[in-house]
């Protein structure tokens, strides 16, 4: 079950530079910065109402965020939907022949369980996210 929009992921070359806009000019508050080694990414978490913005900076020149920026430039990377029962949702989507990037959840920022839907089906990269308990 989809509960809400969790966050919007924005690929950036430099979190420090991007924060000048988001926390400086826009006045938003930074919750924290976390490295997710498995995904080769550094994540700045910025709450906005009931959702958040995640600034995504690659920690590896061959990582997925670095490749995204190389191919498409900085900007929108994905939209994340908070779900309940991520495994069941992935199974149901696979049965409906929705192309998946991940067939099983992996661990993302803040210990959340995440999986991505392939953008060829969704027209944008969509992340399913089940928060850590």
Confidence of residue 71 (pLDDT cuts 50, 70, 90): very high
Distance separating alpha carbons of residues 100 and 38, to the nearest angstrom? 19
What pLDDT score does 133 carry?
79
Can you tell me the mean pLDDT for 36-54? 97
Domains of the chain by range and CATH?
Answer: 2-130 (3.10.180.10)
What pLDDT score does 51 carry?
97
Report CA torsion sign: 88, 94, 96, 101. positive
**Is there a contact between 88 and 1 (Cβ–Cβ < 8 Å)?**
no
**Is there a contact between 107 and 114 (Cβ–Cβ < 8 Å)?**
yes
Can you tell me the mean pLDDT for 66-72? 97
Q: What percent of the chain has pLDDT over 90?
A: 98
pLDDT (tens digit per residue) in 85-119? 999 999 999 999 999 999 999 999 999 999 999 99
What pLDDT score does 25 carry?
96
Residue 43 has pLDDT above 90, yes or no: yes
Tell me the whole-structure pTM to 2 decimals.
0.92
Q: What is the largest CA-CA distance in the chain?
A: 46
Can you tell me the mean pLDDT for 64-69? 97
Distance separating alpha carbons of residues 110 and 24, to the nearest angstrom? 24
């Amino acid at each position: 079950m989809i509960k809400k929009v969790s966050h919007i992921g924005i690929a950036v070359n430099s979190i420090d530079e991007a924060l000048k806009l988001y926390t400086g000019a826009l006045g938003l508050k930074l919750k924290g910065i976390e490295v997710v080694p498995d995904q080769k990414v550094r994540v700045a978490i910025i709450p906005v109402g009931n959702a958040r913005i995640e600034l995504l900076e690659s920690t590896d020149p061959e990582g997925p965020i670095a490749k995204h920026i190389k191919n498409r430039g900085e900007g929108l990377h994905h939209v994340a939907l908070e779900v309940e029962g991520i495994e069941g949702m992935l199974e149901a989507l696979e049965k409906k022949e929705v192309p998946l990037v991940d067939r099983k959840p992996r661990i993302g920022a803040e210990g959340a369980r995440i999986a991505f839907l392939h953008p060829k089906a969704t027209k944008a990269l969509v992340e399913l996210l089940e928060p850590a308990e």
